[in-house]
Amino acid sequence: MSKGLTHHLIESHRVAFGGPLDGAGAGDGALALRIDHALVDGPDGSLVLRAFEAAGGGRIAIELALVCGAPGALCGIESAQEQIYLERTSRRCRATFSRSGNGIGSHVYCSRFAAPGRTALGIESGIAACGALGVLGFVASEVEVAAALAGLPYTMPRTEVLGVALVGRPSAWVGGQDVVLELKRRLGGRGAGGRVIEVLTSGARALTVSDRLSVARRAAELGARAVVFPSDEETRRFLKGQGREADWKALGSESDAECDQRLELDVATLEPLVARADGGDVMRAREIVGRPIRGVWIGRDADVEDLTRFVRRLRGRKVHPDVNLVVAVGSRQVWQTAARRGVLAELIAAGARVVHGDEDARQAMHPYQGVALGFGVGPGASEAGDPAMGWELDVAGPEVCAASAVAGVIMDPRVLDPGQGEIVTEPDESQVLDDGLLIRPVTDPPSEGPSAAPGIPLGRPIEGPLRGTVLLKAPDHLRIEQILPWGPRTWRSRARIPVLSHFTFAGLDAGFVARATSEGGGWVVAGAGFGAGPGRPQAALVLAQLGVRAVLACSLAPPFRRQFLLLGGLALRFAAREDYDHVASGDELEIPDLADGLEVQKPLVVRNLTQGTQYTVRHELSTREIAVARAGGLLPVAATFRSAAGRRPTPDRDQRSRGPVAVGWAMPRTGNGNGTRRVDERTC
């Protein structure tokens, strides 16, 4: 039994743990991967560059870093200043910058840069879309992506593979979104359980790249770390349309490839599906025909092929008068190509409101209360509705959305157009290729000096006993939004951590910031469930900014615990609830046996110097995490690694992903009779 594409991509990029982490992690089953590409986008993108500068800055040490400005209009002077910072820092560190208005990062990256055989990191879930092109893309924290820019390998746990064998050819009524919904139904509540979903070669050829993008970008919704498709003739056709055929190479997995779990899906039997907002149940469209809707939302994730399919199903008809049809275009290329093909004109003629980005679309949907039907509405589409505003969102493919927009109720497209199956048209693979809003790195960037913008706190290594004052004793279930209240003022300063830190615990303890400043840092003691809620990195960043070295709680939310560790903080857990009850605000605590006493599964002793008592606490750190904690966080590790590497510059590239990559293995090319091609690793 042969190994699959996922295993080969991992093995071909596997390297030794770098810097202070060298030798750490192997006992935990962790892997260190060389990263080829990084996508820095989204509202927290500037945190990545600030963290990179905190780790020493300079020139990026990987093949490609794509930094994306805001995809839509800028709101306020703070947003404009952030875009200036992003552009200048990108130029200084020799990253490629996609200017505001060019579109969301995943669209720009997949269309203009992603190439089969690469590994990629991003801070937004959209990075998973690159799996449609044979790229292994993972979501990582801002600090981890910054460390990757400095050349530090990305560490991940050993990951199992769920092989999905697609059998047959889908009908013209279904597409990638229906495959996603059927997989959600088949996998159940736990989804893929954190595995990588690998689509095996035999059935993948039946899906276009547009459908593959629809599947791959839903990795998080499927409970997967990533989704990866083979690179075959469909991939080649897509890259040729982008003017990047030279980036193509044949990669894939045979149907008998080794997998930890296998699932077979006959796409020929699929019917148009709908995921209900009330509970997320996946149902056949024909089972809920007639459910009234007030809106149809085609989101920014839809590409030009999705919009073309949607328009063709409208067949020149008008949108029902009770339905608000909103189409959010995700990128400049999609807009220009759709305009050239006449798709935008047809949408407008049918009664659609065409806007830029999902936020504009959400505003356009709010006045219409009731059920809306959506496609391509970004991550967590089934939760994208706003019950407080009186509307909710069901999810379906473009065919169901088109039929429902015309009928005014949820409609099975086969009922609206009986016998109209396949729409025969001449294939149009060409795209409008206009990179005018891409600023590529130059050989000799202008000398602008280091950034004067407020940076990211750099953790201090643990070199002896850790002592500090209890700055705050928090109750049970203190959520992220209580650590750092989130509203218009904090949102505007989301990348300015020194400014943002003044709001820490503002609704709970108005004197916390002044106390932390006067004490020079300290500890936070909390009850159960500390840090639960949305995974917002700023909550851990402001604590690190104020010098909080440890959080001692009855239990902590795993995302917060991880963010805090990467910044050099210790997240500790009381062994007994009674110990939490005895600690008081203002007590002085000490852990005497750091750093040598920090070992895997070994409890620590915390001394309460004020009360003369002591407590047993647990840290739950792996070997690698202990190394990170001792070093003061991942950024000092990256700085040490970069210094040890001698800051070797990477070869000059135009960052178009043309160079060979050592994947060491390839699938047989289809339709050319050239047999199996291997990449010579010596050329890398």
- Comparing CA positions, the residue from 226, 225, 221, 227 lying closest to residue 185 is 221
Compute the Cα dihedral for 416, 417, 422, 424 and give only its sign: negative
Sequence-distant (6+) residues with CB within 8 A of 211 are: 170, 175, 176, 179
Pairing of strands 273-275, 391-396: antiparallel
On the question of a cis peptide bond just before residue 246, with omega within 30 degrees of 0, the verdict is: no
Q: Which residue has the higher pLDDT, 124 or 17?
A: 124
Sequence-distant (6+) residues with CB within 8 A of 213 are: 110, 129, 132, 176, 301, 303
For the residues 401-414, what does the mean pLDDT come to? 94
Distance from C-alpha of 684 to C-alpha of 681, rounded to nearest angstrom: 6
**149-160: pLDDT as tens digits:** 999 999 988 889
Distance from C-alpha of 664 to C-alpha of 678, rounded to nearest angstrom: 6
**221-271: pLDDT as tens digits:** 999 999 999 999 999 999 999 999 999 999 987 767 788 899 999 999 999
Q: Which residue has the higher pLDDT, 570 or 416?
A: 570
Quick check: 603 pLDDT over 80? yes
The reported pLDDT for the residue numbered 351 is: 93
Quick check: 388 pLDDT over 90? no
The reported pLDDT for the residue numbered 1 is: 60
